[in-house]
Amino acid sequence: MYNIALHLTTDPMYFHSGSTPQSSYDVRPRRPSLGSVASEGGIRYAAEAGPMSELMPDFLTEEATIRRVLARLKREAGRPSDQLLYVGVHNLSQFWWCAMYSVLKSRDREWQFFRAVLIDAWRYGSVLSKFKQIPRSAARLLEILSTIRQREVEKRWMAPEGSPDIPWSLLPGLTLRDLIDPLDDDHAADPSSEHAESYPTYRWHFQRGGYILVGVPDGLSEHFVYEFKSAASDSMFRKVARPVGRTQADVYGLMYHRPDKRLQVYVRDGGALETLHEPVDKERVKETLRKFRSVDKTGNAMPPQPWKCRKCEYASICTVRPAA
């Protein structure tokens, strides 16, 4: 029987929060390495396929299959299939933009976060030699994930020589962005922007507040998580980028065991780069999760200011949208 908890590692570091990581590594700023994946003129597939790439389980490319497996996993764990389990950190943090938007978007994208976890099982498991036979099911991938410790991923992916080659290259139907980060669709906040600082990073997930949170910070140093965003104006910086970015960085601080967070927001109108460097706020994470969970369970949320609804992609299904 599948077990959702199967892949939740018992690594003590995994559940511990706020401590300095045990591994030390080169923290000189540098661009996140994508292993062997080439990137010229935007996102594209790897230039060359490693021997493992052809063996990638093709069920990972099919949305309907992923959704079906996820629903079955929840059912077998006694969890209603319409209750969220896998939640993207960016989507969670958007609670501070609109509570209902945060939940509706999380529901819409849940299958992608589940897939991200399965893909991580594959790529980390491949590089760390956690399996000999090709995994051909989600259950097997989750089993493999349960044997992978965050600290060993961190050690390998944060190594001074850069990230290892990743056997993920030829997945039809997926973009490189899907594979690396289907989570933060704040396209304007490109962490490779000339305004952003550059640090290594890797994707991980952790269990908190009844959810499995999945995310990848824009960077990691030994003592802080780094998050980069951009905002159209000073007003949008204050109303959106700062509260959402702060929360996102706080969650990453817990997930990645860093005591501090560093948020930078490039304000396009005026060209200012706002920098916020402060301790990770665990209380903000708790509060966000508690409120998010309440909206997820009850479907009730405080409506935001009406201007926020003007271009909302979920307006047609939203039950709390204020009258214009």
245 binds ligand SF4 (CB under 6 A): no
Identify each DSSP E strand in the chain by its residue range.
86-88, 204-208, 211-215, 219-220, 224-231, 260-267, 272-279
Q: Which is nearer to ligand SF4, 77 or 312 (CB)?
A: 312
321 binds ligand SF4 (CB under 6 A): yes
CB of 202 within 8 A of CB of 163? yes
CB of 214 within 8 A of CB of 205? yes
Number of residues that bind ligand SF4 (CB under 6 A): 14
Q: Which is nearer to ligand SF4, 133 or 305 (CB)?
A: 305
Q: Which is nearer to ligand SF4, 176 or 244 (CB)?
A: 244
104 binds ligand SF4 (CB under 6 A): yes
Residue 223 CB, shortest distance to ligand SF4, in Å, is 36
Q: Which is nearer to ligand SF4, 109 or 262 (CB)?
A: 109
Options 55, 86, 100, 324; binder of ligand SF4; rule CB under 6 A = 100
309 binds ligand SF4 (CB under 6 A): yes
- The overall longest dimension of the chain from CA atoms, in Å, is 59
Options 101, 114, 206, 211; binder of ligand SF4; rule CB under 6 A = 101
241 binds ligand SF4 (CB under 6 A): no
CA 110 to chain centre: 11
Residue 196 to residues 1, 151, 188, 257, 275, Cα–Cα distance (Å): 45, 26, 12, 22, 11
Structure tokens at 43: 């996102």
302 binds ligand SF4 (CB under 6 A): no
Question: For the stretch 133-166, what's the b/e string if a residue is b when 16 or more beta carbons lie within 10 angstroms of its beta carbon?
Answer: eebeebbbbbbbbbebbbbbbbbebbeeebbbbb
Residue 240 CB, shortest distance to ligand SF4, in Å, is 12
Distance CA 191, CA 229 (A): 8
315 binds ligand SF4 (CB under 6 A): yes
Footprint of ligand SF4 (CB under 6 A): 98, 100-101, 104, 303-304, 308-309, 312, 314-315, 318, 320-321
